[in-house]
Amino acid sequence: MKIIIAIDIIDGKCVRLSKGDYSTRKTYFDDPLEVAKVLEDGGIEYLHLVDLDGAKASKIINHRTLEKIAGGTNLYIDFGGGLKSAEDARIAFDCGARQITGGSIAVKKPEVFESWLETYGSDKIILGADCKDRKIATHGWLETSELEVTDFIKSYAENGVQTVICTDIAKDGMLQGASEELYKDILQEVDIQLIASGGISSLEDLEKMKAIGCHGTIVGKAFYENKISLRELAEF
């Protein structure tokens, strides 16, 4: 199972939110490249870089931060947040993203998301399935749809999607454990590479995600709040 560290960006700084609420913003590093280098030096390979400004603005904003991290490290970066057009996707890849994640766009404009799959291939495009009470949420989690998360994932798996990042918004940033039952249910229904996101607080949580069969797990606040050390994450 891949360990993927999250760096969320607002105003060019590394921050974390709780339950996606922008008012809970806490800044951990002024320079995201600094923490990216620390991660790489500590043995981490995978980075989940989220443009929270872009998620609000519905267009890519922090691509220069992506470019700096991609140019200053050898981390394998997946980039998401606000990608809404062919131009956004092009900019992200040109700036060094190895994969991009589409969430809101897959709900609101499926034809655009599907065009990314055709243009770049399913190995480059991740489906973002962020949910609240098992309903898909969009636009930086500010809106909730009536789409059930498993049905949503299944529909895109049938259209070629291979990898899905699923975040339970109620768990995100709360350090109270991940949504074990949610991920079990998804993997029983759909054959995809599932990346768990939200709530990880300990090595025990990571063991649970591995046992379920998750392809990867995203770790954010647990790292920044020293609940799990960088050495432990790298060794895992």
- Per the CB < 8 A criterion, the answer to whether 12 and 62 are in contact is yes
- Per the CB < 8 A criterion, the answer to whether 133 and 171 are in contact is no
Note if 88 is an active site residue.
Answer: no
- The whole-model pTM stands at 0.94
Question: How do residues 152-189 score in pLDDT, each as one tens digit?
Answer: 999 999 999 999 999 998 888 788 999 999 999 999 99
The pLDDT of residue 138 is 79
Helix count and strand count (H, E) for the chain: 11, 12
Domain annotation for the chain: domains and CATH numbers? 2-235 (3.20.20.70)
Note if 130 is an active site residue.
Answer: yes
Which residues pair with residue 14 across a beta bridge? 9, 29
Beta strands 13-18; 163-168: pairing state: unpaired
Q: Out of 53, 88, 130, 172, which one is annotated catalytic?
A: 130
The pLDDT of residue 19 is 83
3-state secondary structure of 216: strand
Between vectors from CA 147 to CA 166 and to CA 173, what angle results, nearest 5°?
A: 35
CA-nearest of 227, 131, 109 to 175 is: 227
Tell how far CA 197 is from the center of its chain.
7
The pLDDT of residue 20 is 81
- Per the CB < 8 A criterion, the answer to whether 63 and 95 are in contact is yes
Name which of 93-107, 134-148, 157-171 the model is least confident about: 134-148
Q: Centre a 10 Å sphere on the Cβ of residue 41 and count the other Cβ atoms it contains.
A: 11
Residue 137 has pLDDT above 80, yes or no: yes
Backbone angles phi and psi of 23, in degrees to 5: -75, -15
Band (pLDDT 50/70/90 cuts) for residue 190 is very high
Q: Out of 8, 78, 88, 168, which one is annotated catalytic?
A: 8
